[in-house]
Structure 1
Amino acid sequence: MKLNKALIIVTSVCMFSCTNGFENLNKDPLAVNEVSPQLVLPYMQHEGFQLDIGEYQMSSLLYSSLYCQYIANTTPSFNSGNYVFNNKWAERGYWTPYYQAQLKNLREVEQTLGKHPEYNDMYQIMRIVTAMGSMRITDIFGDVPYFEAGKGETQTPYDSQKEIYYDIFKELSEAVGLLKQKREGQLTYGSEDLMFQGNVDQWIKLANSLRLRAAIRLSFIDPDKAETEGTAALKESLMTSNEDNANLSTSLYIECHGNPLVGPCSYRNEFRASKTMVDMLMNTSSIADPRLTLMCSQTEAWVSGESEVQYRGVPNGVAQADLAEEEYSNRFNSNVWGYMWGYTWNNADKGSHTPTPSGDIIRPLVMMNYAEVCFLKAEAAIRGWEGAGDAKSNYEAGIKASFEEMRAGAPEGTYTTSEDEIYLTTGKVKWEDNADFETRLEQIITQKWIGIYPNSNEAWAEFRRTGYPNLNPVVLSLESSINAENGEFIKKLRYVDNELINNKENATAPSLNGGKGDGVNVRVWWDTNRYN
């Protein structure tokens, strides 16, 4: 396949031109030192956002999906759900994809612009991709190497999260300004752009939407800057429908390897839907969430007639020794195999059971969706930001956009639309204009948490920013600095071993993270203590 060849070329190039942890200071004289953005971009997207199952598992499924409580671990083989740090997962799942696949390649192409002005618009799209990655890496680790990173140096200073966020605003706004000029003589992306196939207008919408995301992230810690940037973003073109969703198609992975991303990990029986997730879908409104069958499977035990419980989730952080108990077993708890992921579990009648991949639905990996933009606008509205529109209208539009997105491609009869209005207008979902700020914020973030599923990195960041939705403390924390019995949660990931060894002076500086240093119980800059 043509795209596979492009990825092979890019991988080969990056074997020479990219460094892992900045340790290779000397360039191979035979290396390819100048590459086309058309070859680099798919590598930045594919590797940088973990379209390979191993890296996806190490980042999302073994860290952020557990920490935002979309899923719960059910195998004694893994203990990151008990807050045990695994360096390999953090490095391969987060650190290396950002620094090697994204930032390093951005720096490489930047150096060629004087010689190749026709690359300029393609470079602006690379800036947007990297800005998305930059936001994620600093949200996960706090202060990180940024301004001097990606230049081939081992001893790289760390920059404050505030400075990084301020530069992200600059990167996004400048990229949009240049792309809007529609200059002549510019080369453009095509199929090698795994997200928008070179559609510049959609990249502009994504960049503006990301700017609004970043602004909302700072709304508690830096409200003036947040409002300035958020108001500016609201004046620009944002995502207006699910057609604008920033999707990375997993069909590439399926064609090459035969499996979608989430499905194989589910099929290995290493996790199930969390108790938090199932309870949220069952009890937030007066009726079950209409998305329930799209997000969670019926329990295997219910299908086979062994149990009367149709949907059930596992508490997060169950002790490894207790996972063998029947109540935590995979058979008695719901998988994340709703029709959203293309499996036949839910169309099995009670008494028969065929939980096998259907192969009919290929779900993309969504980096940002229209539903999120609606919820961002809803929060901007309750904060009084100019141009945000009506809070209730944005909030309900976000829920409806999520309904539409999750139903796309689902087989007939696997969901119903008949109770959508009841869900929207009853229970804790119902919007009251006269409710106080905290009540409305909790509603917005709870629905955002559901509506952006399975974007776990963003869901975890929003919990740490707001304290919503109301997550359950893990049953057992094996991290001495986090006392789950006192309701404490993990705050971030610590720095990876490669940094602590090769960049020790910078990675262990006492001034990091507002003078708090490093550790999984250290809050990042925008985390203002709204949860334990």
Structure 2
Amino acid sequence: MKKIRTKIYKPLAGLALLGMLGMQSCTKNFEKYNSDNTGLSDDALKPDFNFIGGFFPQIQSSIYFNFNNTTGDFQLQQNLMGDVYSGYLCPPNNFRGNINNMTYSLVDGWNASAFNLAYNNVMAPIFEIKRRGAEQLAPEFWAIALILKVEAMHRVTDIYGPIPYSSYGSGGTSSAYDSQEAVYTQFFKELEQARKILTDYVAAHPGVSLFSKFDMIYGGDYRQWIKFANSLRLRLAMRIVKADMAKSKAEAEAAMNPANGGLLETNRDNVNVSGFGLKHPLYTIITAWTDIAMNAAMESFLVGFKDPRLPKYFDHSTKYPGTYKGIRIGSLVSSKPGYTGYSIPAVAENKTFRNNTPIQLMASAEIYFLRAEAALRGYSYAGGTPQELYEKGVSTSLSQWDATTSAVADYLNDDKSKPIDYVDPQNAANNAEATTDITIKWNEGDAFERKLERIITQKWISGFPEGQEAWSEFRRTGYPKLFPVVNNYSNGTIDTKIQIRRIPFPSTEYTSNKAEVEKAIQLLENKKDLGGTRLWWDRP
């Protein structure tokens, strides 16, 4: 993007009415996907469930947002927020004269995007699916809608905290917020509901799938959707471990119990969205806009570990040939081409990111790391020891990126390599010593926290480039240990050492839904709508 533009989105109070008034954008997209230009009515489309299924391509491609290939929206929703705060990426662009998200001068016009896009493009069409009777007419479709809703909206609550959820679509001119604890409670109920619906459907209709032509992830394989539901449930169960350990344990064990349908296990199970002309938004941001580069944290860990995934993730620096060079968050980046030529996500050398690269929402490696942590905490049904599951997570991730068997073995046995210091060859003010001396090889004699750091550090590496999830796990665990911002322009609202914890509510909510957003602020830990305020599950 040559220039970031601030967009004005419809307030949520209005969005709640979209489903009731016909949902202009979703109806438009429905016609695009399903009309044969003969003017067929909804009734004519009902026999093959187009009248419900036609909404799913929009929903699936709007989570990691690139619906209709609107890359600018993705840049604001994720790339200049979660991708940066996770330590994955950093732009070589001095947007707004460096008074921006990277220096903790949070830009409301950017940070409303994740909120508005989720309600416009996921919640609204799901509401319409429900209005059209999916729960009764096509329960298996409804089950998948519930899974996608949780996948989309847990990202939103993990950005802002309290969100409108249980009351969405109830009508009126305002939308009440639920506490994050209440939202998570509903997530777990919806995932169990979805799992049971699909399990019963598969038992009653083996080999039948009317959803296949709408499915951008699993081609209509309901057993795979059951695994996705369980894996998502496990992710969210581990997220709340510090806030409610009993609930965390119960939900994690239900997710891991083999009797409930299984979890993602191989790279063939990975949750990848593709088809319907979907394009990977990072490709445009990297190649056409030159607006993103490697983060210094990735350089420190991947170069230090001699990680086989490094050339799959990033290209060498063209400014400093033969090296991988990242940008530290909060650096006062000079205008282009000042930092152009630092390492970028791999588009030239290994061509990992192409226009049609599938968008990954979840990988099987993540599930092994979650199970390793569950085993470390003594949960049942983890299916192995912490070491076994940790090593399986590492090997699964390395295999995903074509590492050889010998390379996997060498990596797992490396007890010497450590993250390296960061050196910015253009400005020594950005230099920083390595944040940790964590190594790769499992050491059973380590203390609990050292083991957890090792698990989460490798989980973080394996999750690239999905920065929103990585940022959430960093806030939950404190791992990996990321470089703090060089320059903090938050006026004291965000602690440099603790780092950013959430995004404030959009200003549109203050103008259109004022009474409810003020109630929502009272649900926050310190009753302050600030970037430094911790979420419910984010405990020191």
TM-score calculated relative to the size of structure 2: 0.81
Kindly report the root-mean-square deviation, in angstroms, between the aligned alpha carbons of the 2 structures: 2.7
Are the equivalent residues in 2 in contact too, given 1:272–1:336 (CA < 8 A)? yes
Residue identity matched to 2:138: Y
Q: Does 1:263 align with 2:278?
A: no
Q: Which residue of 2 aligns with 1:301?
A: 319
Residue identity matched to 1:158: Y
Provide the C-alpha distance between the structure 2 equivalents of 1:251 and 1:123, rounded to a whole number of angstroms. Answer: 21
Match of 1:97, SS state, is helix
User: Taking structure 1 as reference, are residues 419 and 272 closer, same or farther at Cα in structure 2, changes over 3 Å only?
Assistant: same
- Range with bigger deviation, 180-189 or 508-517: 180-189
User: Taking structure 1 as reference, are residues 202 and 325 closer, same or farther at Cα in structure 2, changes over 3 Å only?
Assistant: closer
Identity of aligned residues (%): 29
Q: Which residue of 1 aligns with 2:431?
A: none
Q: Which residue of 2 aligns with 1:424?
A: 412
Map Cα deviations across residues 459-506 of structure 1 (whole Å, 9 max, x no partner). 00000000000001011122113456x523111011112211111111
Q: Which residue of 1 aligns with 2:296?
A: 275
Match of 2:90, SS state, is strand
Residue identity matched to 2:59: M
Provide the C-alpha distance between the structure 1 equivalents of 2:232 and 2:205, rounded to a whole number of angstroms. Answer: 26
Residue identity matched to 2:61: H
Map Cα deviations across residues 54-91 of structure 1 (whole Å, 9 max, x no partner). 22211221111110110112111252211222233223
Match of 1:153, SS state, is coil
Question: Displacement, 1:119?
Answer: 1.4
Match of 2:112, SS state, is helix
Map Cα deviations across residues 113-132 of structure 1 (whole Å, 9 max, x no partner). 38x73311101100000011
Provide the C-alpha distance between the structure 2 equivalents of 1:30 and 1:83, rounded to a whole number of angstroms. Answer: 36
Match of 1:247, SS state, is strand
Provide the C-alpha distance between the structure 2 equivalents of 1:58 and 1:191, rounded to a whole number of angstroms. Answer: 31
Question: Displacement, 1:252?
Answer: 2.1
Provide the C-alpha distance between the structure 2 equivalents of 1:467 and 1:194, rounded to a whole number of angstroms. Answer: 34
Residue identity matched to 1:49: Y
Q: Which residue of 2 aligns with 1:80?
A: 101
Provide the C-alpha distance between the structure 1 equivalents of 2:319 and 2:526, rounded to a whole number of angstroms. Answer: 51
Residue identity matched to 1:494: P
User: Taking structure 1 as reference, are residues 228 and 161 closer, same or farther at Cα in structure 2, changes over 3 Å only?
Assistant: same
Question: Displacement, 1:150?
Answer: 3.2
Residue of structure 1 aligned with 2:448, choices 418, 437, 447: 437
Are the equivalent residues in 2 in contact too, given 1:104–1:151 (CA < 8 A)? no
Residue of structure 2 aligned with 1:394, choices 389, 393, 410: 389
Alignment of 1:9-408 (within 5 A): 21-23=12-14, 25=17, 28=21, 36-51=51-66, 52=69, 53-77=71-95, 79-92=100-113, 94-113=114-133, 117-182=136-201, 183=204, 188-235=210-257, 236=260, 237-249=262-274, 252-254=277-279, 260-267=280-287, 268-284=289-305, 288-303=306-321, 310-320=323-333, 322=334, 329-331=339-341, 333-337=342-346, 343-345=347-349, 362-388=356-382, 389-407=384-402
User: Taking structure 1 as reference, are residues 121 and 359 closer, same or farther at Cα in structure 2, changes over 3 Å only?
Assistant: closer
Question: Displacement, 1:212?
Answer: 0.5
Q: Aligned residues, how many?
A: 470
Are the equivalent residues in 2 in contact too, given 1:312–1:334 (CA < 8 A)? yes
Are the equivalent residues in 2 in contact too, given 1:512–1:518 (CA < 8 A)? no
Match of 2:219, SS state, is coil
Map Cα deviations across residues 180-214 of structure 1 (whole Å, 9 max, x no partner). 01245987212321111211111000000011001
Match of 1:449, SS state, is helix
Instruction: Name stretches of at least 5 consecutive residues in structure 2 with no aligned partner.
Output: 1-8, 31-41, 43-49, 416-438
Provide the C-alpha distance between the structure 1 equivalents of 2:337 and 2:459, rounded to a whole number of angstroms. Answer: 33
Residue identity matched to 1:162: E
Match of 2:401, SS state, is helix
Map Cα deviations across residues 367-393 of structure 1 (whole Å, 9 max, x no partner). 111000000000000000011121111
Residue identity matched to 2:505: Y
Map Cα deviations across residues 224-253 of structure 1 (whole Å, 9 max, x no partner). 000011111110311121111110127823
Are the equivalent residues in 1 in contact too, given 2:103–2:331 (CA < 8 A)? yes
Provide the C-alpha distance between the structure 2 equivalents of 1:134 and 1:102, rounded to a whole number of angstroms. Answer: 8
Are the equivalent residues in 2 in contact too, given 1:21–1:154 (CA < 8 A)? no
Question: Displacement, 1:148?
Answer: 0.6
TM-score calculated relative to the size of structure 1: 0.82
Are the equivalent residues in 2 in contact too, given 1:218–1:526 (CA < 8 A)? yes
Provide the C-alpha distance between the structure 1 equivalents of 2:477 and 2:148, rounded to a whole number of angstroms. Answer: 26
Question: Displacement, 1:515?
Answer: 4.8
Are the equivalent residues in 2 in contact too, given 1:73–1:317 (CA < 8 A)? no
Residue identity matched to 2:80: L
Provide the C-alpha distance between the structure 2 equivalents of 1:264 and 1:112, rounded to a whole number of angstroms. Answer: 36
- Range with bigger deviation, 507-516 or 365-374: 507-516
Residue identity matched to 1:344: A
